Amino acid sequence: MRTRLLGKQEVAAGTMAFRLERPAGFDFQAGQNMLVTLVEPPELDAQGPSRTFTIASAPHEPELLIATRMRDTAFKRVLKKAPPGTPVEIDGPAGFMVLHEDAARPAVLLAGGIGITPFLSMARDAAHRRLPHRIVLFYGNRRPQDAAFLEELGSIENPNYRLVAAMSEAPEWRGEKGFIDRAMLGRHLPELKAPVYYFAGPPAMAMAMQQMLSGAGVADDDMRSEEFYGY
């Protein structure tokens, strides 16, 4: 499906967001992803012209938003330099990390770094649709300036939603410090086995979250995950 780049901006240190025109008929659920393909890029690397991105915008919004850490790869160099109006191809949506239907069960979202993108979509969507689900978002970063969309996530108007932001290298930070772990969850969740858990971040973080939750007695069926690689 052909679309075009509308604009871009830095949303955290070393992290950029890109706005794409949303083609007519492109419907998706909050938390899903899509394949983005550069059209006749001036340079390529071994991984080719396509990458998968979670859609950070919500289903009701008129544009598609993606965000990524800006590493020095051919794909990201081309994307960063592309002016508004540049054509791209998108395929999707794909992915199963969408909010569960049983609103009696809380949703706990565990994000590391740029793994925040599916949860930004979920949080925007839940507020827009006034979903009854109780949602607690744990968002781990080194420093506040590394945390994409932190201000927005802290100001979402939804009485059933709460943000717990944790910083591992920010002594002046007044919120939670360190990495997301079982003790941190215990300080904010009345019962660790009651929620459905969603986690997204670098592979090592995703593996740590799975091991932590398994150790706390959370069933595999109550975990949904997505890994974000630094391509």
Domains in the chain: ranges and CATH: 2-94 (2.40.30.10), 107-227 (3.40.50.80)
Closest to 68 (Cα-Cα) out of 11, 24, 122: 11
Position 229 scores a pLDDT of 59
Backbone angles phi, psi at 160, to 5 degrees: -95, 5
Closest to 160 (Cα-Cα) out of 122, 206, 198: 122
SS3 152: helix
Q: Are 166 and 194 in contact (CB under 8 A)?
A: no
Position 226 scores a pLDDT of 81
Position 231 scores a pLDDT of 40
pLDDT by residue for the chain (231 residues), tens only, comes to 999 999 999 999 999 999 999 999 999 999 999 999 999 999 998 889 999 999 999 999 999 999 999 988 999 999 999 999 999 999 999 999 999 999 999 999 999 989 999 999 999 999 999 999 999 999 999 999 999 999 999 999 999 999 999 999 998 999 999 999 999 999 999 999 999 999 998 888 889 999 999 999 999 999 999 876 554
